Amino acid sequence: MKFVIQRVTHASVRVDSEVIGTIEKGFLVLIGISQTDNRETADSLVKKMTGLRIFEDENGKTNLSLKDVDGSLLLISQFTLYANCKKGNRPSFIEAGEPKMAEELYEYIIAECKKQVPNVQRGSFGADMKVELCNDGPFTIILES
The 3-state DSSP class for residue 120 equals strand
Active-site pick, 3, 27, 55, 79: 79
What are the φ/ψ torsions at residue 8 (nearest 5 degrees)? -130, 155
Active site residue 80: yes
Active site residue 55: no
Burial of 97-112, coded b for 16+ CB within 10 Å and e otherwise, reads beeeebeebbeebbeb
Active-site pick, 6, 80, 93, 116: 80
Active-site pick, 6, 50, 78, 121: 78
What does the alpha-carbon distance between residue 61 and residue 18 come to, in Å, rounded to a whole number?
37
> Looking at the annotation, which residues are catalytic?
78-80
